[in-house]
Structure 1
């Protein structure tokens, strides 16, 4: 159960130039996903950023969707939203770990991502975390992406392929190298 501790929250960054985010959401638990999206949209609006929303079937599809958009579009950042509730099998661990790992690898490639994929034991925990008037994890994920965009703009030009980047091979199979 979550405690009532007070945590420090950074002020929402402001931007001198237009900022555009893509919210990628898995609506597997639609009511929870809708609350996460509402919180993320409100945070984007608060920062003066614009956002688009795209839905994917499940949490494992969120990293590939962000990868496609990162490579082929002009979004400044991404917000990953969804909910994984523990069930009776080990599928929970697989989905939690692989979706998180995928987002981390994309971040190391230069994508500005806020991770708002809830990993919870039960629906009650998810509802509390998704509530835009409560823990507002959707808003927190958008804020994380916005802060990364602000850092990127502070320290230099937009760059892709920083950290781990794909290295072409003879058989067109992608492998990764440290940049």
Structure 2
């Protein structure tokens, strides 16, 4: 049985990778925690701070357009989407969650570029705080692993 059949070890070496991060400012304290955790983890994985481009946008619905611009630039090996959507009393939660998620996925597929989607969709602020730090770190690991995997597959 080949290694691929048994399950491969993940490649989390971020050396020489270029990563773009788009952070929604809505629920900014929470999204800043996501960003801080993500950037800290990227650096811990070997991504040079000078190879991390971090931009902010007003909210989760604006994340895909910034991701698209980054993807079209050809300067990044992977991207990260950061945001926090907390359920309210109206249908707006579903609209924002569904449309931002669909936009992120479409850009990843259209550009064949990995995008770690760490736009939290939660019921309340307590749930968001319970997830923010770990989801930021997870997004960094996903971005690095998928950038390396796609490089190996090309």
State the TM-score, normalized to the length of structure 1. 0.75
Q: Check conservation: 1:12, 1:143, Cα contact below 8 A.
A: no
Residue 30 (structure 1) aligned with residue 14 (structure 2): no
Structure (1 or 2) with the greater helix fraction: 2
Larger Rg belongs to: 1
Partners of 1:61 and 1:151 in 2: how far apart?
A: 28
Paired position in structure 2 for 1:80: 81
Which secondary structure does the structure 2 equivalent of 1:128 belong to? helix
Alignment of 1:75-154 (within 5 A): 75-109=76-110, 110-130=112-132, 132=133, 136-154=134-152
- Structure 1 gaps of 5+ residues are 1-9, 157-179
> RMSD value over aligned CA atoms?
1.5
Listed one character per residue, the Cα deviations across residues 111-168 of structure 1 (whole Å, up to 9, x for unaligned) are 21000000000000001111x3xxx101111211111101111111xxxxxxxxxxxx
Q: Which protein, 1 or 2, shows the higher relative CO under an 8 Å CA cutoff with sep ≥ 6?
A: 2
